[in-house]
């Protein structure tokens, strides 16, 4: 199990490194192809659109045909998208590459399903915490890799990201066993079903968990959008200072997910820890709304980063326990789709609110998390098992 877990962690690192490497240079790189600011916004959003459309399909395919082949194809697609960006002859290839990257980023719910396949219920939070920590690692070191590699040209960050993805493909091919013992047991007329995506919200076992997951990501996407204009225009921080803050956030996230989550979940339980972490997050978003002092700003940022490390691993663990064993990939895919919706609309809402006043998105993020807290309290003592998706 340990070997499988670390291979899955590497896949998460590949996804996070790719994002961390590309995002700092994507805007300036795409400007070389003559894209306007509006077109650049579309280039950023097309990734989440592709991810939203693909993840239920990929999760269901992994239930039907196995985790290993789906992971292999999806990570290979991610590698291809990075190389396509590096050697793009025109702007159209940039859009195709970002769409392909979004579609193949659906390997994360499959990786989550592998964790569900190979861990017992009491250890799943730890497994999902390792995936979350892998993302933290990637988001911490991705920008550093990008900055270092630019000395060899603007295409080099994309080449490095593609090479890392190819290494992950090799490891999957040679080292990752098939973990889906229920392969082929799913019977469905549709591999992709918008109706199930909608009706899953009303499932008594998983509905509230899915909605909480959406709300948490939606609020965080608003926060991520609001962070840079807030830091630059109100806190007057330089780009170097912002980069150092993001590095610190990554380190805090790693500590939270690797060293802290297993201990506090074991002592207090997943649902109680989820409520507590969301309460801290809501308070920090609201506090940031009114902060103008650098020391208080830094304190709020890092407290939020610590608390933010808890919800997603816990929510994934809860979903894996609430879902039928034969539906793990499909449920993780649906969860990822709702997260993608949050990532699509969070920045849009944040951008609209920021035109009124720059800190306003932070207040909206706090209010969104308060709704998630109410739902989390309602499900504190829920122990319902979801029926198979057929």
Task: Report the pLDDT value the prediction gives residue 152, as an integer from 0 to 100.
Answer: 86
Distance in angstroms (rounded) separating the CA atoms of residues 58 and 106: 6
Task: Report the pLDDT value the prediction gives residue 197, as an integer from 0 to 100.
Answer: 67
Distance in angstroms (rounded) separating the CA atoms of residues 120 and 105: 26
Q: What angle do CA 111, 113, 117 make, to 5 degrees?
A: 115
Distance in angstroms (rounded) separating the CA atoms of residues 317 and 123: 9
For residue 149, count other CB atoms closer than 10 A to its CB. 19
Distance in angstroms (rounded) separating the CA atoms of residues 317 and 313: 6
Share of the chain above pLDDT 70, in %: 78
- Top-confidence range, 56-60, 274-278, 355-359: 274-278
Contact between 49 and 203 (Cβ < 8 Å): no
37 pLDDT higher than 60: no
Distance in angstroms (rounded) separating the CA atoms of residues 134 and 107: 14
Domain harbouring 13, CATH code: 1.20.1250.20
Q: What is the mean pLDDT of residues 198-212?
A: 79
Structural domain range at position 79? 2-178+187-378
Whole-structure pTM value = 0.68
DSSP for 57-89 reads HHHHHHHHH-HHHHHHHHHHHHHHHHHHHHT-S
Query: How far is CA 324 from each of CA 113, 226, 230, rounded to the nearest angstrom?
Result: 12, 38, 43
Cβ-based neighbours of 54, under 8 Å, separated by 6 or more: 102, 103, 104, 105, 106
Question: 185 or 32, which is more confident?
Answer: 32
369 pLDDT higher than 90: yes
The CA R_g of the chain, rounded to the nearest whole Å, is 20
Q: What angle do CA 201, 207, 213 make, to 5 degrees?
A: 95
Residue corresponding to tokens 């590095």? 247
388 pLDDT higher than 50: no
Question: 144 or 223, which is more confident?
Answer: 223
User: By mean pLDDT, which of 7-11, 296-300, 335-339, 386-390 is the weakest?
Assistant: 386-390
Question: 28 or 373, which is more confident?
Answer: 373
Query: How far is CA 223 from each of CA 151, 241, 247, 343, 377, rounded to the nearest angstrom?
Result: 31, 18, 17, 11, 23
pLDDT in tens, 322-340: 666 666 666 777 787 788 7
65 pLDDT tier (thresholds 50, 70, 90) = confident
Mean residue pLDDT across the chain: 78
Name the E strands within 142-288.
none
Does 389 fall in a domain? no
Cβ-based neighbours of 135, under 8 Å, separated by 6 or more: 12, 13, 15, 16, 253
268 pLDDT higher than 70: yes
390 pLDDT tier (thresholds 50, 70, 90) = very low
Segment (H or E) for 170: helix 156-175
Does 387 fall in a domain? no
Does 388 fall in a domain? no
18 pLDDT higher than 90: no
223 pLDDT higher than 80: yes
Does 142 fall in a domain? yes
**How many structural domains is the chain composed of?**
1
For residue 356, count other CB atoms closer than 10 A to its CB. 9
Residue corresponding to tokens 């894996």? 320
At 187, is the secondary structure helix, strand, or coil? coil
pLDDT in tens, 145-188: 777 787 788 788 889 888 988 888 888 888 777 766 666 555 45
Residue 191 sits at φ, ψ, to 5 deg, of -80, -30
389 pLDDT higher than 50: no
Does 385 fall in a domain? no
Does 390 fall in a domain? no
């Amino acid at each position: 199990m340990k070997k499988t877990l670390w291979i899955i962690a590497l896949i998460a690192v590949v996804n996070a490194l790719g994002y961390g490497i590309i995002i700092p240079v994507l805007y300036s790189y795409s400007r070389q192809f003559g894209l306007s600011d509006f077109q650049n916004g579309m280039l950023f959003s097309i990734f989440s659109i592709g991810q939203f459309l693909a993840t239920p399909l990929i999760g269901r395919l992994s239930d039907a045909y196995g985790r290993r082949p789906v992971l292999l194809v999806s990570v290979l697609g991610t590698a291809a998208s990075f190389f396509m960006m590096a050697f793009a002859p025109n702007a159209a290839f940039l859009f195709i590459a970002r769409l392909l990257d979004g579609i193949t980023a659906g390997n994360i719910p499959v990786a989550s399903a592998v964790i569900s396949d190979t861990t017992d219920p009491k250890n799943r939070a730890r497994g999902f915490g390792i995936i979350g920590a892998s993302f933290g690692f990637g988001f911490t070191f991705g920008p550093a890799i990008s900055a270092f590699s630019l000395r060899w040209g603007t295409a080099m960050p994309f080449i490095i990201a593609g090479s890392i993805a190819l290494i992950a493909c090799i490891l999957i091919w040679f080292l990752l066993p098939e973990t889906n013992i229920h392969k082929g047991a799913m019977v469905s007329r549709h591999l992709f079903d918008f109706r199930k995506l909608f009706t899953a919200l009303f499932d008594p076992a998983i509905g509230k968990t899915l909605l909480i997951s959406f709300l948490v990501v939606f609020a965080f996407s608003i926060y991520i959008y609001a962070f840079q204009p807030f830091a630059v225009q109100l806190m007057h921080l330089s780009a170097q200072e912002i980069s150092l803050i993001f590095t610190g956030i990554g380190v805090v996230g790693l500590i939270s997910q690797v060293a802290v989550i297993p201990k506090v979940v074991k002592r207090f339980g997943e649902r109680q820890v989820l409520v507590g972490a969301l309460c801290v997050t809501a308070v920090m978003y609201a506090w940031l709304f009114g902060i103008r002092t650098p020391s208080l700003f830094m304190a709020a940022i890092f407290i939020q980063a610590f608390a933010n490390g808890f919800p997603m691993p816990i929510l994934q663990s809860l979903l894996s326990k609430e879902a039928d064993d034969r539906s793990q990939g499909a449920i993780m895919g649906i969860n990822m789709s709702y997260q993608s919706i949050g990532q699509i609309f969070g920045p849009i809402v944040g951008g609209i609110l920021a035109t009124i006043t720059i800190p306003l998105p932070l207040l909206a993020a706090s209010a969104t998390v308060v709704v998630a807290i109410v739902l989390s309290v309602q499900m504190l003592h829920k122990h319902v098992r979801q029926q198979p998706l057929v």
